[in-house]
Amino acid sequence: MKIHQLSLFLENKPGQMTEPCRLLAQAGINIRTLTLADTEQFGILRLIVSDWQKGDRLLEEAGYVVNVTEVVAVEVPDRPGGLAELLAVFDHTDINIEYMYAFTFGRGDTAVMIFRFDKPDAAIERLQLAGNIIVGSTEVYSRISR
């Protein structure tokens, strides 16, 4: 149900993105989607890659501090109000969305979004109860890359 995200600590200065991307490329690991959070001093590069274990090992060997986090990929109806309806599931709960970002490709009339919850299991339960489709880890790549 959950998928693995790799997070890298980067300093906020020119050229910091190049090296990790190159390392993954050389190993034939595809970046499915990514997001970069930045502050004045540093950035956090969050990646969903085709082989997270290999990617994790590779980047750590290269000296990066890599955090592996479990995130949830959810189908979102690609129409006005789609995301708002989905988020309404968490009204009146104590589940917090730490951050979220989108896959670059959707499928047909749905988009897929990545959510980082403070309580991922409780979040998944609520989402499923409301009839949302959670995209699993093996599924995510084949569905998206088609």
Partner 1 sequence: MIEHSSKIHPASAPDYTPVAQLRDLQLGRLQATAARAYERVELYRRRMNERNMRPEDLRTLEDLANLPFTVKADLRDTYPFGLFASPLEEIVRLHASSGTTGKPIVVGYTQHDVGVWTDAMTRTFLACGLGRGDIIQNAYGYGLFTGGLGAHYGAEALGATVIPISGGNTDRQIMVMKDFKVTAICCTPSYFLHLLDRAAQMEVNVAELPLRVGVFGAEPWTDSLRRHIEAAAGIKAFDIYGLTEITGPGVGIECPCQAGLHIFEDHFYPEIIDPETGRLVAEGEEGELVLTTLSKQAMPMIRYRTRDISAFVPGSCPCGRTLRRIRRISRRSDDMFIIRGVNVFPSQVETALLAVEGMLPHYQIILTREAGLDQLEVQVEVTPPVASDRVAALENLHNKLAHTLSQTLGLRVKVRLVAPQTLKRSEGKAQRVIDRRNI
Query: Among the candidate windows 37-45, 50-58, 72-80, 123-131, which touches partner 1 by CB under 8 A?
Result: 37-45
Amino acid identity of residue 91, one-letter, is D
CB half-sphere exposure, 8, CA atoms < 13 A: 28
Give one word for 131, left, alpha or beta, with left for phi > 0 and alpha for psi -120 to 50: left
Tell me: does residue 116 bind partner 1 (CB under 8 A). Answer: yes
Give 101 or 143: the residue with its C-beta nearer to partner 1.
101
Cα torsion 123, 69, 96, 32: sign: negative
Query: Among the candidate windows 2-10, 72-80, 105-113, 133-141, which touches partner 1 by CB under 8 A?
Result: 2-10
> Of the candidates 57, 97, 99, 125, which one interacts with partner 1 according to CB under 8 A?
99
Tell me: does residue 65 bind partner 1 (CB under 8 A). Answer: yes
